[in-house]
Structure 1
Amino acid sequence: MTPHAWSLLFILTVAIAALIVLINSRLRIHPFVALIVVSVGTGLAAGEPVGKLAGSIEDGAGGTLGDVGVTLALGAMLGRLLSDSGATDALAHAIVDRSAGRRLPWLVAGAAFLIGVPMFFEVGLIVLLPLIFSVARRLETRGGTQGSPYVLLGVPAIAALSTLHGMLPPHPGPLTAMTGLHADLGLTLLVGVVCALPTIVLAGPVYARWIAPRLPDVRPDPALVAQFTGAGERVEATEGEQRHPSDGPGAHPTPSAAPRPQVPIGLAVAAVLIPVVLMLLRTLAETTLDESSGPRAWLTFVGEPLIAMLAGFLFALGVMAVRGSNSGEQTRRSLTGSLQSVAPILLIIGGGGAFNQVLKDSGIGAAIATAAEGARLNLIVLGWLIALLLSLTTGSATVGIVSATGILAPLVGNGSTLEASLLVVAIGSGSLGLNYVNHAGFWLVKESFGMDLTQAAKTQTAVQTMVSVLGLGMALLLSVFA
């Protein structure tokens, strides 16, 4: 380590501290603006030529949004179409209806797993709340349930949705980390599923059975329960519902009196799984078919995240058009609302891409690689810890992921290895831990279920921290084979 390398590491430390201060200052600067400001300051302090600094920021933001942004936008629109068409309701009720009481937490976790593939945590939870509340009210009326039935069914949903949000593409966090670390798509999906399943089981139904009897008083406001479970009513996210965590308290579901049509279960499952199946077929083709073969070229093409998500979106759009459940104008307005909801996340991802490119072009990335090589740090633990600390201190899981990805990208080498895919899972898992009052998801859970701060900490904070730690543990276990 040369003195210059040490100075670059010091600049990186100051940059991270400045990012935390800007986001948490009295001004509450938006993370996107904070990332751009820190990127400029870092480049200047590291000695990057001023003639190249603006280009680094533009290339970083544009490249990241080109890889991730369009896929994320299509995913948001797909999730809204599934919600508007009634596919998510049909799927959830098909899984849960006619089931014995002891199996219900497991079935809610299964419904959340399928529904959560194309949906963000907050949107997925809002879509599931009518199901959770209606089944919990049934259990409450029937009696015999130890503790709060709302906690018993809510915890598995929280665990499944947050696990998918942190570990599996095409969610924005894992997709951003996968792109930045040049990890293999199919391998990342496989590793993500292997890590996610035991994590969901332990942090979801198993923990729910333990914590529900210890929180017997948790019950949502009766008016809210009636609102969510009333005949013919629906609850969905408003156009501004997908708030960034820095927005703070106040993420409330908004009722609408519009009836929700039902769609066949097969179509619901197909719409959810099309993107994942296409991406897995791409990996299968790349590992079994000759490089020059036509089928491999086509399967590689349709398995690109952008094309796979587009296929799922067009399928859902076609289903809605054939069934005529909404007018074209209603669908357009709904899709516009879904894009408005993810705009803050897109901006943050772009800002993170700019920061990452500045780290690379200024030489800080090379200094990080040299320091880590000399210290022989475990990359999986390091990635998890950086994402955890940045997510905790900035209130944004996205900031934690994009910043950790940029810091660790120089250490991964050529990517496309098991280690790179495990690092994607570790960084995504780290961004979920210690989810507390500066995260919007915490307030959504607290207010929806009528909890006080302590009860919310024992559910939302505890579940997401368990998911974070279990995700790290699974990644470390699989790293034995790397």
Structure 2
Amino acid sequence: MQVWYLIGVLVVAIAVLIALINSRLRLHPFVALLVVSLAVGLAAGEPLGHIAKSLENGAGGTLGDVGITLALGTMLGRLLSDSGATTRIATAIVSRASSRLLPWYMAGAAFVIGIPMFFEVGLIVLLPLVFSVAHRVQTEAGLRSPYVQLAVPAIAALATLHGMVPPHPGPLTVVSGLHAPLGQTILAGFICAVPTVIISGPLFARFLAPRVEVVPDKALVEQFAGDKDEPEHRVPTGWAIACILIPVVLMLARTVAEIVFAKGSGARAVFTFLGEPVVAMLIGFLVALIALALVRGRPGEAVRKSVSDGLRSIVGVLLILGGGGAFNQVLTDTGIGDAVASAASHMHLSVLLLGWLVALLLSLSTGSATVGIVAATGIVAPLAAHLDSWHTALLVVAIGAGSIGLNYVNHAGFWLVKESFGMTLGQAAKVHTSTQTLVSVCGLGMVFLLDVLL
């Protein structure tokens, strides 16, 4: 009886969370998460003296694990964007492609750029390239609806990396909450991501293009495709790619070292240290700072102002992560997480499907993939306690994939795509919502396939 009472508290809490975010109050998700966390602690009978400590420990632990990495990743992305490095990479990838291969090359460009960047930031960086290439080939045979053909692969790749592959903050939060092995999660994420991008990117674009004709206003075309004095020619492509890949390579090297070298060895200790997300991201940022900014003659004050401006854009995300951490800690301290684990074991429901579904529904209902991913982590965390390392990594990818789907009018990314291409609501739903939902479903399918193989 106690188990079902606690599950009832969780169900009501989720409903209240959704109501607070979507009601006339329009509470910020951070505040809504704190209010609901406090109410859950009270309803579940947690001692009054412990509730505040749960909130503090949960928020502080999550921000300590993920917040610093997120800040460094944001600054790295800002350096890459300001220096023209991302444009340089994208241009190098698509410059020699034929019209029929352009969607595939665009997916490749977005895949590389999406490793360190948020979905919204990556799309903004890619928009000039998408518009200029689409405008160039609009009259060529073989590429029907060029804006759809190029936008869909970009959306698919950016969304996949954003939701399913560390060091993005969403999957990194799940890694922290589930104590998943970082290197194995990165490997599993990339293995799932590549087929997902192919299916929901170039292949889906070929299916969708004859059914949706997007023709942006001339003003939009001029804004994004007009001649601009870009600095990308000053940044060698090799340096640009290296700055993006350094953090990921260091994190993967840590996993390899933990397999190859014995415990207590000096080499293992060094690679473990360098592969810590905070250290790896710091190294990547410092290399980019030197190679893409200071060596190129950018004034230090201008660089500092630019990265500071970039940090302002993630304050809301950091707060949501902290609020989600507080919510997760309350679920643990009150025994609600264990109650969910007990109920799920009797239902014989796959933990991978449960994690994906909870993240999907919460993301849809709250309008925030971050809320979906952090809340789902707390709910399924007790179920991950008995999983081996590879299946824990797959659970991270499943939760991340769930947070991507059904991205509609209450998501900021939906409106960014709609307004950037001058789409109607119907067109945006067909292009953006359907693409991200296909990413979500394909991601889950790849997780199940690896689950069978492992």
After TM superposition, is the score higher than 0.5? yes
Name which of 74, 97, 103 aligns with 1:99: 97
- Does 1:161 find its partner at 2:161? no
Superposition deviation, residue 323 in structure 1: 3.0
Whether the 8 Å CA contact 2:99–2:143 is kept in 1: the answer is no
How large is the RMSD of aligned CA atoms in angstroms? 1.2
Name which of 206, 224, 228 aligns with 1:228: 224
Whether the 8 Å CA contact 2:294–2:300 is kept in 1: the answer is no
Structure 2: runs of 5 or more not aligned: none
Q: Indicate how the Cα distance of structure 1 residues 409 and 417 shifts in structure 2: closer, same or farther if over 3 A, else same.
A: same
- Does 1:319 find its partner at 2:291? yes
In the aligned structure 1, how far is the partner of 2:297 from the partner of 2:128?
A: 20
Question: Runs of 4 or more off by more than 6 Å in structure 1?
Answer: none
In the aligned structure 1, how far is the partner of 2:130 from the partner of 2:340?
A: 46
Q: Indicate how the Cα distance of structure 1 residues 57 and 119 shifts in structure 2: closer, same or farther if over 3 A, else same.
A: same
In the aligned structure 2, how far is the partner of 1:316 from the partner of 1:278?
A: 15
Name which of 198, 202, 211 aligns with 2:199: 202
In the aligned structure 2, how far is the partner of 1:28 from the partner of 1:113?
A: 34
Superposition deviation, residue 416 in structure 1: 5.7
Aligned residue for 2:335?
363
Aligned residue for 1:354?
326
- Does 1:143 find its partner at 2:140? yes
Aligned residue for 2:452?
480
Superposition deviation, residue 269 in structure 1: 0.6
Q: Which residue type is aligned with residue 288 of structure 2? A: A
Superposition deviation, residue 261 in structure 1: 5.6
Report the TM-score when normalising by structure 2.
0.98
Q: Indicate how the Cα distance of structure 1 residues 479 and 384 shifts in structure 2: closer, same or farther if over 3 A, else same.
A: same
In the aligned structure 2, how far is the partner of 1:414 from the partner of 1:350?
A: 26
Whether the 8 Å CA contact 2:89–2:240 is kept in 1: the answer is yes
Q: Which stretch of structure 1 is more off in the superposition, 33-42 or 448-457? A: 448-457
In the aligned structure 1, how far is the partner of 2:248 from the partner of 2:325?
A: 25
Q: Which residue type is aligned with residue 19 of structure 2? A: V
Q: Which stretch of structure 1 is more off in the superposition, 411-420 or 356-365? A: 411-420
Measured against aligned partners, the alpha-carbon deviations of 1:422-449 in whole angstroms (never above 9, x if no partner) come to 1111111111111111111111111111
3-state secondary structure, aligned to 1:144: coil
Structure 1: runs of 5 or more not aligned: 235-258
Measured against aligned partners, the alpha-carbon deviations of 1:369-410 in whole angstroms (never above 9, x if no partner) come to 111122221000011110000000000000000000000001
Whether the 8 Å CA contact 2:359–2:376 is kept in 1: the answer is yes
Aligned residue for 1:8?
6
In the aligned structure 2, how far is the partner of 1:229 from the partner of 1:262?
A: 20
3-state secondary structure, aligned to 1:119: coil
Name which of 358, 361, 367 aligns with 1:389: 361
Name which of 410, 432, 438 aligns with 2:382: 410
Superposition deviation, residue 419 in structure 1: 1.4
Whether the 8 Å CA contact 2:164–2:400 is kept in 1: the answer is yes
Superposition deviation, residue 27 in structure 1: 1.2
Whether the 8 Å CA contact 2:174–2:374 is kept in 1: the answer is yes
Aligned residue for 2:413?
441
- Does 1:271 find its partner at 2:243? yes
Whether the 8 Å CA contact 2:83–2:293 is kept in 1: the answer is no
Q: Indicate how the Cα distance of structure 1 residues 393 and 366 shifts in structure 2: closer, same or farther if over 3 A, else same.
A: same
Name which of 352, 375, 379 aligns with 2:347: 375
Whether the 8 Å CA contact 1:58–1:354 is kept in 2: the answer is yes
Aligned residue for 1:171?
168
In the aligned structure 2, how far is the partner of 1:291 from the partner of 1:361?
A: 33
In the aligned structure 1, how far is the partner of 2:55 from the partner of 2:323?
A: 8
3-state secondary structure, aligned to 1:412: helix
Name which of 374, 382, 396 aligns with 1:424: 396
Whether the 8 Å CA contact 2:106–2:150 is kept in 1: the answer is yes
Q: Which residue type is aligned with residue 226 of structure 2? A: G
Report the TM-score when normalising by structure 1.
0.92
Aligned residue for 1:35?
33
Measured against aligned partners, the alpha-carbon deviations of 1:282-327 in whole angstroms (never above 9, x if no partner) come to 0000011111111110001000111111111001001134433421
